[in-house]
Amino acid sequence: MRHENGRGCDATRRKLILGALALPLAALLARRASAGETAGLAARVEAITAPLVGRLGFSAQRLDGGTVIALNADERFPMASLFKIPIVLAALRRVHTGPGRIKGLLPRGTPVAHKTGTIGGVANDAGFVTLPDGGRMALAVFTKSSSTPVADRDRAIAETARALYDHFAT
C-alpha cells in the first residue's frame, strides 16, 4: 500500500518502526523497583528457579507505571529468535507457539502478544500481557545453559510470568 506522497511507507510499517524506537527509550526512562517493593515476588521466583539446571533471567515492566523488575539483568542470554520482536509486533497477537510459556499459567482469555525462541539449552519468551485493569505489562524471560527438559524450562517461564502478572495486577 502506498501513501499519497508515493514514499511507500504505510501506517502499519510506521507504527512498527515507532514502536521499535520507543521500547529502548521507555527502558531508559524506567525506574527499577526497590527490594521492598518486590520482596514477596523475589521469594516466589527463587522457588520457581531452584529446580532448574542453568540460569533464568527476566525483565518486566508495567507499561503505564514505569517500574522495572529484573533478575540477572546484567547477564547476557542468547536471544534465540527474540530479536525479531520489534519487526513482528503487529503479528504477535496471533502467535500460537509456546502455549506452556508466558501464556501457560495466566488466567484463561488473558490477551498475550508474544514471541518464543528455543535453541539447545535455551528456551525464551517475550511479549506483552494485558492485565485485569486494562494496563499492559512487557516482559522477557530467558533461560540458558540448561540441561533441564524443555517442558521444565517452559514451566519455569510460565510460573515466572504468572508471578509477575500477579505482582503487577495488584
The span from the CA of 115 to the CA of 144, in Å, is 17
Tell me the pLDDT tens digit for each residue of 41-69: 878 888 887 887 778 888 888 877 767 88
Starting at the earlier edge strand, list the strands of the sheet with 55-62: 31-32, 67-71, 55-62, 136-144, 122-130, 112-119
Level-2 CATH architecture, domain 32-169: 3-Layer(aba) Sandwich (3.40)
C-alpha cell at 125: 519468551
- Residue 127's DSSP bridge partners are 114, 139
What's the start-to-end Cα distance of the chain, in Å? 43
pLDDT in tens, the chain (170 residues): 333 444 444 554 444 444 444 444 444 444 566 656 666 787 888 888 788 777 888 888 887 776 788 878 788 877 666 655 555 555 555 556 667 899 999 999 999 988 888 888 888 898 899 999 999 998 989 888 888 888 899 999 999 999 999 998 98
The owner of cell 504505510 is: 10
pTM: 0.59
Q: Domain-by-domain residue ranges, the chain?
A: 32-169
